[in-house]
Amino acid sequence: MNQTSPKRPATLQWVGSIDGHLEVLDQRLLPGRTEYLHIQETESLWQAIKSLAVRGAPAIGVAAAYGMVLAGRSVPATSQSNVLMEALARAATYLKSARPTAVNLAWAVDRMIRIAQSHRGIGVRPLRQRLLLEAAEIQFEDAAMCLAIGRHGASFIKNGMGVLTHCNAGALAASDHGTALAILYEAQRRGIHFRVFIDETRPLLQGARLTAWELLSSDIDATLICDNMAGLVMKQKKVDIVIVGADRIAANGDTANKIGTYSVAQLAKAHNIPFLIAAPTSTFDLSLPSGDHIPIEERSSDEITQTGPPLFPPMQIAPLGIKTYNPAFDVTPADLIAAIVTDKGVISPVHETTIRALLN
Ligand code: MRU
């Protein structure tokens, strides 16, 4: 049910009929190994999302939609509809608890619940099929939204430009194509020549492991830097534009994205470099007035006191017993964002009125 570019393995795909399974590319193993998890139950999917085997806001939304299919499938076909609805409600709460910041997860789960409610009269067996269809639809729409982001954003990239990106907002983070990287793929398709600087993105190295792998396999001129080198490359005038993804955008345009994004935005401002967000409309959360209300996931201290797993045995890089603070995301205020490129068009300047005008 998935489509993907020739050189990239699919991020996730449903295999077979309603009795089939979800295949998820295990991103924890990249770039060393390309292996798929075969997921049959909601619990294993929760684990895959929590442990970042599948990650990136749009991709975890699509994965969670299939998680609702798995939850529905666990209910015997001979049951009453209300048994299925109760199982779905439990699965929705459970899946949402895996990762709190990216709104796409809750967005997809809620859409699955709405579809179940509006079709509950058709009986359990057809309803389970309908859920699978809806999840596939969400996946298809996600890939289409990413392509549209690429089309709307490609004109920001001019010949000879240097682009800086942080984390991985590429095909691996979505059904395909990605958000920030969709813009680069489309610019490349249009014959534009540019160069990309990739922040390694401590602590889990999504830039070094994933974006570097994606851009290399797409023949895009890419250079990996450590996070603390971004200021220098900007000062050396090697960067003309910064483009990153988003996990949740509040009504006023404040944007949560991978930890370190806020620092990059401040550096861009100091060097007079435009800072762009690329995100599908499913990443906006207009119920939150500002970024102060976005829940920020805090992750385990091992991620910053150790290196290595899962490819290598863990190596302790900080003394045992040291206190740690490991927020996975930060919020960039709207006034640092020159434009938000969405599947429906470009929002610029970024504030509540321009956001609501485009989304409505
Ligand atoms: O913790 P991750 O790897 O899921 O964080 C991913 C990001 O922050 C991405 O930039 C964001 O989800 C946008 S992906 C199109």
Output the CA angle 249-57-120, nearest 5 degrees: 100
247 included as an active-site residue: yes
Cα–ligand 1 centroid distance for 245 (angstroms): 7
Q: Across residues 10-19, what is the average pLDDT?
A: 97
Counting ligand 1 atoms within 8 A of each CB, the residue from 27, 176, 204, 206 with the most, and so the one to mutate, is 206
pLDDT tens-digit map of 189-215? 999 999 999 999 999 999 999 999 999
**For the chain, how many residues are written?**
360
**Contact yes or no for 122/130 (Cβ under 8 A):** yes
Q: Are strands 21-25 and 36-39 parallel, antiparallel or unpaired?
A: antiparallel
Question: By alpha-carbon position, which residue is closest to atom 10 of ligand 1?
Answer: 245
The CA distance from 125 to 72, in Å, is: 9
pTM of the model: 0.96
Q: Residues 245, 169: contact at Cβ < 8 Å?
A: yes
Q: Which amino acid does the sequence have at 313?
A: P
Q: How many helices (H) and strands (E) does the chain have?
A: 11, 16
C-beta separation of 348 from 341 below 8 A = no
Mean residue pLDDT of the chain comes to 96
Q: For a pLDDT cut of 70, what percent of the chain falls above it?
A: 97
pLDDT digits (tens, 9 = 90+) for 51-109: 999 999 999 999 999 999 999 999 999 999 999 999 999 999 999 999 999 999 999 99
Q: Is the pLDDT of residue 130 over 50?
A: yes
For residue 175, give the DSSP letter: S
Chain segment 302-359, per-residue pLDDT in tens: 999 998 766 667 899 999 999 999 999 999 999 999 999 999 999 999 999 999 999 9
pLDDT at residue 30, rounded to an integer: 94
Q: How many CB atoms lie within 10 A of CB 307?
A: 16
39 lines ligand 1 (CB under 6 A): no
- Angle (CA) 80-86-88 rounded to 5° is 105
User: Do 251 and 352 meet the contact criterion of CB atoms below 8 Å apart?
Assistant: yes
